């Protein structure tokens, strides 16, 4: 090894050997800033192969190395550790990231400390630089920091905070104790000061909620060390936050030495749950109210119908009865004109009686229970036809029924539907020499309708909607007498079954009235039903 002329007394072999075998790097430099000596460790650390490669003027290394602060700033040559030491600066624990410019991805982190070596007179003669490689340690620290940061991020995302409280021999909590940033944030305290006092953490605790530590200590035992609880916090803004906490006790023997756990802000869930509970309660209340109202309306309707039935008929009976009594008892004293007026009174009373009966019938068919059965609609139609044709024995009628029509409904009500439809068919075909009336089925919009078709006077589709209004008629009394309640009744009965109704006709070309009843087991409420089929206008009913 070459001995520099200005070298201090390093010539002793032992010292030299120590110098070479050290694992820490040492570099010696004289005041000409020539590197005079690198030990083996320093050579290896800097990625060089031999001392010969290393021993040249320091300034030449600018072409090979780049030194940066850990923050990233590139250091100019004057700020490199050796030049600084030679300039008299105190260099202690200077951390640098060192890159080799002639190699890809050669990066190290070194810690440098430098000092001056002085002669007997106290004059500095050279600088010695101590180098240690902390790359691995820094990497480990960095990954630890990253893990820590990841943990903090995870806590924030999951809204979980953590805490650990040691308990001393006297059973007192040791303060300050550890709280994670997230738990501090939950409690409205600044993050970062992870050692906190219980009093600070409890500053915003809801006055009715006992602190978790006290509560959990009362319940946990070595056998059952877990505690699940909840508490509320009041924010300065006046909001209430709901916190769910899970704690675990750690024991030495039977003595509790630590309580640790997690806490989570569940305000959103608690609010959602409360809203759900409130909503469901209010729904139930509203359903109850509506049901009550409906029951009241129904009862009112019933008593109204009853009153109509009794109270409207009594005066009518008197009007008709006494008019008749005048005719019978005092007929001789009356002129023909007076008698005919009395006949009008009797006729009008009779008519009003019929109207009252029809109104009652209509109201009765919209009340009461439905008793559903599956039955042969054709047979019911034949029976209904026999009833209605009794009033017109002189008529020539061809009546046909399609075989095998099965229906599901209240047979008593459906019989009334058929009586109404068949009576209409008979009435409106009365101008024909021979009436042709058919009961049959037909498909419309995927539904099988039971239909009654006649060859009578028909009606204009533009007035179809009027057909179903009580007391609305499309014909004058002198054309076809009637009171206009039949189809309204029919439609109500069909609606009560959850079915739909159709009407089709043209003036002078007969009419078809049909109804569809939902099959058993898929019966829907009447509110879903509507009148469809050939007369879209009717769906407004």
Partner 1 sequence: MRRILLVEDNAADEKLTLRALRKVNLANQVDVVRDGQQALDYLFSEGEFIDRKEARLPVVVLLDVNLPRVSGLDVLAAIRAKELTKTLPVVMLTSSAEDRDRVQSYASGANSYVQKPVVFEEFAETVGRLGVYWYLTNEPP
Tell me how far, at minimum, the Cβ of 348 lies from partner 1, in Å. 11
Where in 104-225 does DSSP place strands (E)?
Answer: 107-118, 124-133, 160-166, 177-179, 195-196
Q: Left, alpha or beta for 445 (phi > 0: left; psi -120 to 50: alpha)?
A: left
**According to the binding rule CB under 8 A, does residue 355 interact with partner 1?**
no
Quick check: helix, strand or coil at residue 455?
Answer: coil
Q: Contact with partner 1 (CB under 8 A): which of 137, 153, 339, 350?
A: 350
Tell me how far, at minimum, the Cβ of 347 lies from partner 1, in Å. 10
**According to the binding rule CB under 8 A, does residue 334 interact with partner 1?**
no
Whether 375 and 411 have beta carbons less than 8 Å apart is answered as yes
Q: Contact with partner 1 (CB under 8 A): which of 4, 176, 353, 518?
A: 353
Q: Which is nearer to partner 1, 410 or 454 (CB)?
A: 410
Q: Which is nearer to partner 1, 193 or 321 (CB)?
A: 321
**According to the binding rule CB under 8 A, does residue 315 interact with partner 1?**
yes
For 52, the enclosing helix (H) or strand (E) is: helix 51-54
Quick check: helix, strand or coil at residue 231?
Answer: strand
DSSP-based helix, strand, coil % in the chain, nearest 5: 45, 25, 30
Q: Contact with partner 1 (CB under 8 A): which of 320, 425, 451, 517?
A: 320
**According to the binding rule CB under 8 A, does residue 191 interact with partner 1?**
no
Tell me how far, at minimum, the Cβ of 322 lies from partner 1, in Å. 7
Tell me how far, at minimum, the Cβ of 484 lies from partner 1, in Å. 19
Q: Which is nearer to partner 1, 349 or 489 (CB)?
A: 349
**According to the binding rule CB under 8 A, does residue 157 interact with partner 1?**
no
Quick check: helix, strand or coil at residue 424?
Answer: helix
Tell me how far, at minimum, the Cβ of 346 lies from partner 1, in Å. 7
Q: Contact with partner 1 (CB under 8 A): which of 54, 128, 316, 411?
A: 316
364 vs 488: CA distance, rounded Å: 13
Tell me how far, at minimum, the Cβ of 324 lies from partner 1, in Å. 4
How many residues belong to the site for partner 1 (CB under 8 A)?
A: 26
450 vs 454: CA distance, rounded Å: 14
301 vs 309: CA distance, rounded Å: 12
Q: Contact with partner 1 (CB under 8 A): which of 152, 215, 364, 432?
A: 364
Quick check: helix, strand or coil at residue 320?
Answer: helix
Q: Contact with partner 1 (CB under 8 A): which of 92, 150, 274, 317?
A: 317
222 vs 213: CA distance, rounded Å: 16
Tell me how far, at minimum, the Cβ of 363 lies from partner 1, in Å. 10
Stretch that binds partner 1, among 72-80, 96-104, 311-319, 525-533 (CB under 8 A): 311-319
Exposure string over 9-18, b if 16+ CB within 10 A, otherwise e = eeeeeeeeee
Q: Which is nearer to partner 1, 214 or 328 (CB)?
A: 328
Whether 510 and 540 have beta carbons less than 8 Å apart is answered as no
**According to the binding rule CB under 8 A, does residue 111 interact with partner 1?**
no
Residue 47's Cα: distance from chain center in Å? 62
Q: What angle do CA 421, 425, 427 make, to 5 degrees?
A: 115
**According to the binding rule CB under 8 A, does residue 323 interact with partner 1?**
yes
Tell me how far, at minimum, the Cβ of 312 lies from partner 1, in Å. 8
Residue 389's Cα: distance from chain center in Å? 62
- Mask 278-307, x = binds partner 1 (CB under 8 A)? ---------------------------xx-
Tell me how far, at minimum, the Cβ of 323 lies from partner 1, in Å. 8
Whether 280 and 178 have beta carbons less than 8 Å apart is answered as no
């Amino acid at each position: 090894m070459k001995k520099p002329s200005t070298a201090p007394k390093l010539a002793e072999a032992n010292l030299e050997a120590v110098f070479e075998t050290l694992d820490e790097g040492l570099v010696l430099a004289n005041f000409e800033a020539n590197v005079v000596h690198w030990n083996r460790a320093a050579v290896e650390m800097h990625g060089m192969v031999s001392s010969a490669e290393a021993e040249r003027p320091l300034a030449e290394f600018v072409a090979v190395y780049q030194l940066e602060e850990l923050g990233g700033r590139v250091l100019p040559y004057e700020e490199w550790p050796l030049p600084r030491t030679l300039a008299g600066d105190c260099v202690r624990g200077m951390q640098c990231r060192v890159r080799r410019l002639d190699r890809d991805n050669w990066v190290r982190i070194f810690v440098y400390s430098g000092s001056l070596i002085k002669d007997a007179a106290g004059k500095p003669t050279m600088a010695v630089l101590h180098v240690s490689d902390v790359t691995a340690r820094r990497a480990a620290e960095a990954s630890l920091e990253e893990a820590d940061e990841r943990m903090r991020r995870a806590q924030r995302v999951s809204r979980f905070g953590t805490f650990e409280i040691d308990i001393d021999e006297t059973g007192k909590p040791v303060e300050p104790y550890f709280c994670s940033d997230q738990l501090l944030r939950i409690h409205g305290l600044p993050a970062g000061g992870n050692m906190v006092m219980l009093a600070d953490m409890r500053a915003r605790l809801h006055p009715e909620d006992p602190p978790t530590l006290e509560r959990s200590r009362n319940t946990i035992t070595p056998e059952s060390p877990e505690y699940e609880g909840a508490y509320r916090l009041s924010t300065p803004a006046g909001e209430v936050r709901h916190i769910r906490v899970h704690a675990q006790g750690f024991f030495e023997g039977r003595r509790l030495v630590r309580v640790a756990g997690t806490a989570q802000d569940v305000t959103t869930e608690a609010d959602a749950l409360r809203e759900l509970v409130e909503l469901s309660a209010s729904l139930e209340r509203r359903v109850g109210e509506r049901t009550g109202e409906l029951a009241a309306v129904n009862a009112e309707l019933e008593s109204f119908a009853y009153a109509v039935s009794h109270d409207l008929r009594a005066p009518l009976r008197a009007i008709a009865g006494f008019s008749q009594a005048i005719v019978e008892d005092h007929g001789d004293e009356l002129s023909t004109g007076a008698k005919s007026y009395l006949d009008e009174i009797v006729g009008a009373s009779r008519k009003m009686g019929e109207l009252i009966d029809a109104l009652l019938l209509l109201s009765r068919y919209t009340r009461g229970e439905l008793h559903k059965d599956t039955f042969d609609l054709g047979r019911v139609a034949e029976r209904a036809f026999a009833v209605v044709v009794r009033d017109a024995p002189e008529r020539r009628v061809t009546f046909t029924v399609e075989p095998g029509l099965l229906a599901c409904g209240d047979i008593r009500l459906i019989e009334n539907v058929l009586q109404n439809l068949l009576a209409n068919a008979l009435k409106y075909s009365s101008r024909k020499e021979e009436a042709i009336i058919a009961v049959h089925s037909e498909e419309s919009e995927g539904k099988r309708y039971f239909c009654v078709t006649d060859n009578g006077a028909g009606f204009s589709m533009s007035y179809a909607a009027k057909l179903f209004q009580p007391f609305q008629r499309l014909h004058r009394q002198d054309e076809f007498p009637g009171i206009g309640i039949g189809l309204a009744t029919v439609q109500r009965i069909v609606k009560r079954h959850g079915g739909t109704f159709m009407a089709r006709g043209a003036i002078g070309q007969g009419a078809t009235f049909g109804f569809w009843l939902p099959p058993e087991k898929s019966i829907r409420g009447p509110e879903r039903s509507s009148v469809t089929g050939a007369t879209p206008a009717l769906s407004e009913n």
